[in-house]
Structure 1
Amino acid sequence: MMTNKPFALGLAGAFALTATLAVAQQSDMTIGQQLEPPHLDPTSAAAGAIDSVLYSNVFEGLTRFGPDGSVGPGLAREWEISDDGLTYTFHLAEGVKFHDGTTMDSEDVKFSLDRARAEDSVNAQKALFSGIESVEATDPATVTVTLKNPDGNFLFNLAWGDAVIVAPESIENIKTTPIGTGAFMFDNWVQGDRIELTKNPEYWGEPAMLDAVTFKFISDPTAAFAAMMAEDLDVFPAFPAPENLPQFDADPRFKVLVGSTEGETILAINNKLPPLDDVRVRQAIAHAVNRHEIIDGAQFGYGTPIGTHFAPHHPDYVDLTEMSQHDPEKARTLLEEAGVSLPLQLKMTLPPPSYARRGGEIIAAQLRQVGIEAEIENVEWAQWLEATFRGYDYGLTVISHTEPLDINIYARPDYYFQYDNAEFQKLMEEVGVESDPDKRSEMFRQAQTTIAEDYVNAYLFQLPLLTVAKTGVEGLWENAPTQAADMTAVHWAE
């Protein structure tokens, strides 16, 4: 017995040490993501993958979105709005530093907002800042923004990833070495593989609960499933293989979260490309599409049908799906009325996400039934941004718009689907300055109806947020009011 006692104590000590090490090892987390960012500047690209990695984690704005979609304080801790709604006075948080150790103050805010609204701005959401008349650095901790007209969405607009605060000194290398003020700092980018973030030890606000976060890029759904099952990943938001969710749900090692996003998934149409410039042709395409087949086939039943560009969970949503119900016979009649020679050849570009690649195959088969031959071109994200989004080199494309309350993109004639409706543009100007909630709601309903009647695009479904995580992961966003994997409050359960 005496000879066994030291061994037993040693074994107990070893177990204790192992347990301690196990706990210590739970200070980092690996996140799966299907799309890799083309670069790391959220203020100069439309790629949502940039925000997925950096929003709130590395970069912060004056305001920010919460997990419930509400807009709250960010770098601006409080503000006053003048009685006429034109002047916003922002009071900045104290002791904020950029990750390079330099102080963040009102001059950085002025620089960021002026840069975003400048004539030569390449900000993908430049329209968010077009209503700004002037930005004044009143003192180091105070910024005064004057608007041209009252804008009930202004605080909302400032919460977008496109409105984050950057330092003038960081702009030269921001696309590869982002320097923000967030709870995590950029550490390393192995292109084609991963981005590594580390905890900011001098963060001005509530510190992150993790010491390190790695975003691992896995584009193939089968590989994503294998990586999660092998526990190489801890979390995979926007999991790309919904057919595998029942397996994860039945496995005690994992949990499945099914939430909502702001992602209106559409079959986007190039409205200036003949014969797509004829509303009858666009209407024919909308009637040729069977949303339920796409949701079932590409999403395995996950997704809410939509008939316009508006989130179904928004209180002002109007269900207009009946306007574009599946009706192949009507589609053929409309094509005949428009004088279209069949078969009609159209190029359909498909970016990497599973909903686009899988959904595009189904849509192509549906269009073929009415005499439209959609030539599929699978493209990488950077190519989609350059050729489809900026170059208008497409007839059709499948994409999910994950920005919140973004129906105003239809008021931009140079936007990639090139819809030009002066009355709609005027309506969006009016909703921007209207402060009465009931009147704004009516305007949003009118806007939804207008683009549905013009069949600007074929509206498919609202993209769900399907997250697979290890059971010990806590603090994840279940819904996605903006495209972000906010890790600032994520932690391992004790």
Structure 2
Amino acid sequence: MSMGKHGIRGPIAALRVISILTLIVAAVLWAPTAAPGQAPAGRADAPVGTLTVAVATFGNERWLPHLYVGAEDVVLKPLWENLLSRDGKGNLIPMLAEKWQVSDGGRTWKFNLRKGVRFHNGTEVTAEDVRFTFASIAKEGSANSMAPEFRTIKSMEVEGPYTITVRFDKPFVTLGNRVTQGLFASVAYIQSKKHIEAGEDGAERQPIGTGPWKFVEHVRGDRVVYEAVPNHWRATPHFKRLVFLKVPEPATRMAMLRAGSVDVIEVSGEYVDELKKVGMRTLIMPNTAAIWVILGGQWPTKPTYDPKVPWAQPDAERAKKVRLALNLAVDKKAIIERVLGGVGTAVGTVNYYPTDPWISDALLKPIPYDPARAKALLTEAGYPNGFELTMNLTAWPGRGFLPDVGEAVATYWEKIGLRVKRRPVDRAVFSADFRARSYAGVALAYAGPIIAPEPWELFARIAQTKSAVHLLVEHPKLDAFIERLGAEPSVAERTRIMREEMGPWLYEYMPAVSIGATHSIAGVGPKVGEWPLIPGHMGVHNWEYVNRAAR
């Protein structure tokens, strides 16, 4: 795929303007077994060979629906399937559910399952498995990022082995985006009720799913191995084995690709030219993540709130000056150019993209680079000699470049007098902190993935007072926006709210240091042939459709 310096979203832009109105009309939706443009399930040739993939991190490395958070998508998705998926235009299409019906303004969702689909142990998928999965996600103590939303389920009615009706008190017009295979971190994968109830420890050691790949081996912190499922109902993989290796260092991943010891690697934009020089291909998934620097501690109603954190202190005016200073101290365009290799666009509003229909010139404009003003604001806020803070350097699944972004921001902050301690920390370790809200006074670079077409849908998971995890801010104003948008059936009205109300509030409140939108990039070796990807899906995926290169 070729693109300009900053790229365009292409089909991604279309994704965000696709009307979700069809989801709240009492209509039955149908689609063929294989998604348009993807390979049919049956093939004459059997799977052969091994596809080896090097990624920065596996995430939590957990296998039960209430234990994985969502970012583990890259390594979990080969094993499992969702009720729905998405086609190349961003439309929801059937997967395990062959049809579905939405009624009562989005309060009622009825799913009819595909008959004859089996888990890897041979048992058939039924509506009871769906009910069990949703209940597991929602249960108290669940680490799943979708837990708060699934707790809004009022009832689930199983109407025979293949039909389930899910009811909500309030409209949930975008439930389809939570149960789709076609978006990153939509981890409502349907699990086997019988398998897990037979023993969670056993299910963790030997997980089963319905996907085109079955579990073979997991060595924590090292590798995950899958094997192709012969004659899979949807798509039999071209490769017999799929091996994920955890390789945190990007330079090491590059060396492994060049040596031929791996076939696919995650890379950032700074390595694109190097890949081209050595004759390696790149796959670019444009504008699939929004980068910002989290300023931990903005959870004033929680027991772990620390009023001494400069950017989250009770004095709102002083806290705002600190956040503005932290923004003014950072040259966002330089980070895009030098750290990300020019792959992306600086954007002033957190989790907004340059081609969104709700973007405006004012919301797009980055906070300027002005270190002198930043120093003056710190003095006005009561910190003439700066202050100490910790910058976590953490790679996330599909976003191995984040430690480099964090290092660059830390260096900029030191130039205005802050004393920044670097702390390399694995994502699996940090996950306990962002669930418990126990990182007050800590900053870290983060890249919010497109987990749904509209930005508030990500905020509902990571920036709401009732969210299972915290990766931005908690504020009653943002809570209210999320509640309004989640119940609003009109796409036009949601667009207006995001452009005229929520976006300006985010820009003015400045809860984080917004860097901008960037792309997912993979380097691929000579063994890899055609690889159809889903527009808008962050990170490498669709492993079952990766072709072997012609010889």
Per the TM superposition, whether the score is higher than 0.5 is: yes
Query: Are 1:194 and 1:214, in contact at CA under 8 Å, matched by a contact in 2?
Result: yes
Counterpart of 1:161 in structure 2 is 186
Moved more, 259-268 or 35-44: 35-44
2:521 and 2:472 map into 1 onto residues whose CA distance is 31
State the Cα distance separating 1:186 from its structure 2 match. 0.9
The correspondence for 1:200, drawn from 229, 232, 243, is 229
Counterpart of 2:368 in structure 1 is 325
Counterpart of 1:18 in structure 2 is none
Q: Does 1:284 align with 2:325?
A: yes
Q: Deviation digits for residues 445-494 of structure 1, max 9, x if unmatched?
A: 22222222111111112231112113442124275524452212111144
Q: Which amino acid aligns with 1:249?
A: K
Cα distance change, pair 388–431 in 1 and its aligned pair in 2 (3 A): closer
Moved more, 272-281 or 141-150: 272-281
Q: Does 1:116 align with 2:145?
A: no
1:387 and 1:407 map into 2 onto residues whose CA distance is 18
1:413 and 1:284 map into 2 onto residues whose CA distance is 29
Counterpart of 1:315 in structure 2 is 357
Q: Which amino acid aligns with 2:446?
A: I
Cα distance change, pair 122–389 in 1 and its aligned pair in 2 (3 A): closer
Query: Are 2:70 and 2:187, in contact at CA under 8 Å, matched by a contact in 1?
Result: no
1:147 and 1:478 map into 2 onto residues whose CA distance is 30
Unaligned runs of 5+ in 2: 1-44, 299-304, 313-318
Larger Rg: 1
Q: Which amino acid aligns with 1:162?
A: V
Q: Which amino acid aligns with 1:294?
A: I
Q: Which amino acid aligns with 1:275?
A: P
Match of 1:315, SS state, is: coil
State the Cα distance separating 1:438 from its structure 2 match. 0.5
Query: Are 1:288 and 1:367, in contact at CA under 8 Å, matched by a contact in 2?
Result: yes
1:68 and 1:371 map into 2 onto residues whose CA distance is 48
Match of 2:389, SS state, is: strand
State the Cα distance separating 1:32 from its structure 2 match. 1.9
Cα distance change, pair 482–132 in 1 and its aligned pair in 2 (3 A): farther
Counterpart of 2:346 in structure 1 is 305
Q: Deviation digits for residues 74-131 of structure 1, max 9, x if unmatched?
A: 2111111225432211110110111111221000001111222233433222133243
Moved more, 414-423 or 283-292: 414-423
Q: Which amino acid aligns with 2:505?
A: T
2:544 and 2:356 map into 1 onto residues whose CA distance is 26
Cα distance change, pair 207–299 in 1 and its aligned pair in 2 (3 A): same
2:539 and 2:255 map into 1 onto residues whose CA distance is 25
1:389 and 1:452 map into 2 onto residues whose CA distance is 25
The correspondence for 2:84, drawn from 57, 60, 63, is 63
Match of 2:187, SS state, is: helix
Counterpart of 2:242 in structure 1 is 213
Counterpart of 2:61 in structure 1 is 39
Match of 1:468, SS state, is: strand
1:118 and 1:202 map into 2 onto residues whose CA distance is 35
Q: Does 1:356 align with 2:402?
A: yes
Q: Does 1:448 align with 2:500?
A: no
Q: Which amino acid aligns with 2:190?
A: I
State the Cα distance separating 1:324 from its structure 2 match. 1.8
The correspondence for 1:411, drawn from 464, 467, 480, is 464
State the Cα distance separating 1:392 from its structure 2 match. 2.3
State the Cα distance separating 1:361 from its structure 2 match. 1.9
Q: How many residues align?
A: 468
Q: Counterparts of 1:88-487 in structure 2 under 5 Å?
A: 88-159=109-180, 160-171=185-196, 172-173=200-201, 174-201=203-230, 203-236=232-265, 238-240=266-268, 242-252=269-279, 254-270=280-296, 271=298, 272-273=305-306, 274-277=309-312, 278-307=319-348, 308-318=350-360, 320-322=363-365, 324-352=367-395, 354-393=400-439, 394-404=441-451, 405=455, 406-408=458-460, 409-412=462-465, 415-417=469-471, 419-445=473-499, 446-471=501-526, 472-477=528-533, 480-487=536-543
Match of 2:505, SS state, is: helix
State the Cα distance separating 1:151 from its structure 2 match. 2.1
Q: Which amino acid aligns with 1:303?
A: G
Query: Are 1:65 and 1:482, in contact at CA under 8 Å, matched by a contact in 2?
Result: no
Q: Does 1:488 align with 2:535?
A: no
Cα distance change, pair 375–232 in 1 and its aligned pair in 2 (3 A): same
Two-structure CA RMSD over aligned residues (Å): 2.5
Query: Are 1:33 and 1:216, in contact at CA under 8 Å, matched by a contact in 2?
Result: yes
Query: Are 1:132 and 1:145, in contact at CA under 8 Å, matched by a contact in 2?
Result: yes
Q: Deviation digits for residues 166-188 of structure 1, max 9, x if unmatched?
A: 12233314444321111111111
Q: Which amino acid aligns with 2:371?
A: P
Q: Which amino acid aligns with 1:276?
A: W
Query: Are 1:264 and 1:400, in contact at CA under 8 Å, matched by a contact in 2?
Result: yes
Moved over 6 A (4+): none
State the Cα distance separating 1:223 from its structure 2 match. 1.2
Q: Which amino acid aligns with 1:410?
A: A
2:148 and 2:70 map into 1 onto residues whose CA distance is 17
Q: Deviation digits for residues 14-45 of structure 1, max 9, x if unmatched?
A: xxxxxxxxx98954311221213431327345
Q: Deviation digits for residues 125-172 of structure 1, max 9, x if unmatched?
A: 213324321111111011111121222211112225321111223331
Counterpart of 2:100 in structure 1 is 79
1:350 and 1:175 map into 2 onto residues whose CA distance is 29
Query: Are 1:89 and 1:144, in contact at CA under 8 Å, matched by a contact in 2?
Result: yes
Q: Which amino acid aligns with 1:314?
A: D
Query: Are 1:284 and 1:335, in contact at CA under 8 Å, matched by a contact in 2?
Result: yes
TM-score by structure 1 length? 0.87
State the Cα distance separating 1:211 from its structure 2 match. 2.0
Query: Are 2:311 and 2:323, in contact at CA under 8 Å, matched by a contact in 1?
Result: yes
Q: Which amino acid aligns with 2:410?
A: A
Q: Which amino acid aligns with 1:91?
A: N
Query: Are 1:257 and 1:478, in contact at CA under 8 Å, matched by a contact in 2?
Result: no
Query: Are 1:261 and 1:402, in contact at CA under 8 Å, matched by a contact in 2?
Result: no
Unaligned runs of 5+ in 1: 1-22
Query: Are 1:67 and 1:480, in contact at CA under 8 Å, matched by a contact in 2?
Result: no
Q: Which amino acid aligns with 2:407?
A: E
Counterpart of 2:51 in structure 1 is 29
Q: Which amino acid aligns with 1:215?
A: F
Match of 1:316, SS state, is: coil
Match of 1:36, SS state, is: coil
TM-score by structure 2 length? 0.79
State the Cα distance separating 1:221 from its structure 2 match. 1.5
Query: Are 1:42 and 1:162, in contact at CA under 8 Å, matched by a contact in 2?
Result: no
Q: Which amino acid aligns with 1:304?
A: T
Q: Does 1:53 align with 2:107?
A: no
Counterpart of 1:7 in structure 2 is none
Q: Which amino acid aligns with 1:74?
A: M
